[in-house]
Amino acid sequence: MLETFAQVAKAATASSTWAGLTGFQWAIFGAAIAFVGGGMGSAIGITYVSNVSSGILVEDPDKFGTMLPLLAIPGTQGIYGLITAILVTFFFNLSKISAHTGMLVFFSCLPVAFVCCVSAIFQGLTAASASAMVARRTEELGKAMVLPALVETYAVFSLILTIYLFTRIPK
Amino acid sequence: MEVDPYMTRAMKTFFKVPRYGTACGRVMMKEATLLNWQRVERILESGFDEALGVLLETESGKYLAGAKVAADVENGLMNFLIEEYRFLDEICSGTLVSAFLHLKYDFHNMKVLFKEEITGMAHDEGILLGELGTVDTEEMRLSVSRHRRGYLPALLEESIETIRTGLDKRGNDPQMVDTIADRLFLEARLKLAVLEKSRFLVNFATSALDLANLKVLLRGVALGKERSFYEEAFATGGKIPRHTLMELSSESPERISARLLTTRYGRMLSPVLDVADKRVRLTTLDKQSDEYIMEQCARMSRVAIGPERIVRYILRRENEVVLLRIILMGKLHGLTPEAIEERIAVICGSRSY
C-alpha cells in the first residue's frame, strides 16, 4: 500500500500533471472537497436539530434563545471546511504548485472533508436528542451542550491534523 | 442489488429525525406536563374540590373545572383525551402513527354498532367514542348496517365485511363480534405498523397480537372451547405462528405449558403456567401481559427521536386519564385515600405508571 502510494507520488513529482490534473487543480479540488464535506454535514446536522427544535418552539416560542446554541453547534464543521479551503490558498502558492504538492494538499484536505461531514450529521442527531433536556428544563442547557460538544472534538482534531499536514508539505 | 438489512436499519436512524423530529419536539414539551407521582399524592390526600384545584395546575384541570358529579368527571376526562388525540393528529400528519393509535377506538365503535344491530337495543350514551376514532360514528353506522359501502378506509371496510361473514357463518352472537373484531383489530394494527415501516411499531403490534393469542389459548383451554372458536379468535402475524397455536389448542394443559415456556414469552408466562401445580393462573395472566407491555414502554424511553416517543406519550396520557378517573370517582363515592391507592396499584400496576 505504502509502496503504491510512493510510486504514485514519484510519478506525480516527475510530471506536471497527475491523473490529468495539474497541481493547481489538485489543490483546488482538495479545498473544494473539504468545504463540500464540512458544509454538507453541517447542513444535514442542522436540519436534524431544527426539526426537533421547531417542534419545541411551536409549543414554547420563548425557548428560542435557549435552543439557539444547540441549533448552531452542527454548523461549526462547515466553518472548519471553509477555514481549510481558505488555508489552502494561504499556505501554498497555487500558481506555481507542482502536481506532487497539489496531490498532497488534496490528501491533506481529506480528514476535514470526511470527519467533518460525518461528525456534523451525528452531532445533529445528538443535539436533537439533547433538546429533550432543554425542552423540559431550560437550566439544563449547559449539560445538554456537553453531549454534542463531545462529537465536536473529532471535527476539531481533523482540522488540527489537516493544518499540521499543510505545514509538513514541502512548498 | 441486495441491501444489507443491518445497513438498512442503521440508515433508518437518519430518516427518523426528518420524519418524526418536529412531532417529537412538540411531545418533549408536552411531556413536562404529564401528571407526576408527587401531584398524584397531593390529589389523593385532598378532598374532591381540592383535588380539582390541584388539577388546575395540570393539562387536564381546565376540562374538569366545576365538576360536581360522576358524569362531569367522565365528560371532562373524555374531552381531555379527545384534545390529546387532536394534538396527535396535528403532529403526526403524513405518518401512520396517529392511525395506529386511533384504530382501537374505530374497532370499539364497530363492535358497539354491530352489537346494537344484533340485539336491537340502543347502546348507553357515552359508549360510542366517535371523536377518538378516525371515522365518524354515523358513517360507520351506515357501513355496518349495509346502507353504504366504499366510504370508510379500506382496512375498516374489509373488517366490517369479515365480521359480517363471520356472523352469517356462526350465528348472530354478540360474543362472536368481540372475538372476530379483536382479531381483526390486531391484524389491522400490524398492517399499519408494517406500512409505516417502523420496527418499533411492528414489534409493539406483534407483541400485543401474541399476548392476545396466548390469552385466547389459555382461556379457551380452561373453558374447553372448540376448534372453531380458535379458528375465529387467533390472529395471524405474531411471532408464535397461528398453526402452532392451533396445534396447541388440542393439547393437554401440561404440554401447552411446556411448549409455551420455551417461547420468547416464557419468562412472562412462568408465573401464569404453574408447572408444579399443573394449573394455569388466569388472574395472573392479565397482570403479567400488562407488565410485559409496560416493560416495552419503558424501553421506549431510551429512544429520543422516533415513533416510540409519540406512542409512549399517548399511552401515558391514557394512563393518566384512567388514574384520574379512579381517584376522582373514588373521592366522589367517599373512598379513603388508602382504598383509592390500593385500586390504583391493582389497575395501574406500579407507582411509575
Cβ–Cβ pairs < 8 A, chains A and B: 71
User: What mean pLDDT is predicted for residues A102-124?
Assistant: 95
| Of A30 and B18, the one with more pLDDT | A30
Interface probe for B, chosen from A59, A64, A126 (most Cβ of B below 10 Å), is: A59
Q: Is A62 on the interface with B (CB under 8 A)?
A: no
Q: What integer is the mean pLDDT of B72-88?
A: 92
Give pLDDT, residue B353: 41
Residues in chain A within 8 Å Cβ distance of B305: 52, 125, 128-129
Cα first-last separation, chain A: 25
Cβ contact (<8 Å) for B18 and A52? no
Residue B352 confidence (pLDDT)? 45
Mutate: best of B19, B27, B29, partner A, most A CBs <10 A:
B29
Least confident of B194-198, B258-262, B342-346: B342-346
B13 to A56: CB separation less than 8 angstroms, yes or no: no
CB contact under 8 Å between B26 and A58, yes or no, is yes
Q: Hey, which residues does B279 pair with through a beta bridge?
A: B274
Q: Characterize B315-330 residue by residue with b for buried, 16 or more Cβ atoms within 10 angstroms of its Cβ, and e for exposed.
A: bbbebbbebbbbbbbb
Q: Does residue A6 surpass a pLDDT of 80?
A: no
Candidates B325, B315, B326, B327; CA nearest to B352 is B315
The architecture (CATH level 2) of A21-168 comes to: Up-down Bundle (1.20)
Measure the CA–CA gap between B137 and B58, rounded to whole angstroms.
31
| Cβ–Cβ below 8 Å for B22 and A51 | yes
Does the beta-carbon distance from A55 to B22 stay under 8 Å?
A: yes
Dist. CA B129–CA B25, nearest whole Å? 28
* pLDDT recorded at residue B38: 86
Q: What's the pLDDT score for residue B142?
A: 85
Mean pLDDT of chain B: 84
Nine-digit cell string for B251: 393439547
Percent helix, percent strand, percent coil in chain B, to nearest 5: 70, 0, 25
Is A127 in CB contact (< 8 Å) with chain B?
no
| Number of neighbours of residue A20 by Cβ within 10 angstroms | 6
The pLDDT tens digits of the residues spanning B135-147 come to 888 888 888 887 6
Task: Give the pLDDT confidence score for residue B277 in this predicted structure.
Answer: 61
Q: Are strands A17-18 and B273-274 parallel, antiparallel or unpaired?
A: unpaired
pLDDT digits (tens, 9 = 90+) for B28-66: 989 888 888 888 888 888 888 888 888 888 888 899 888
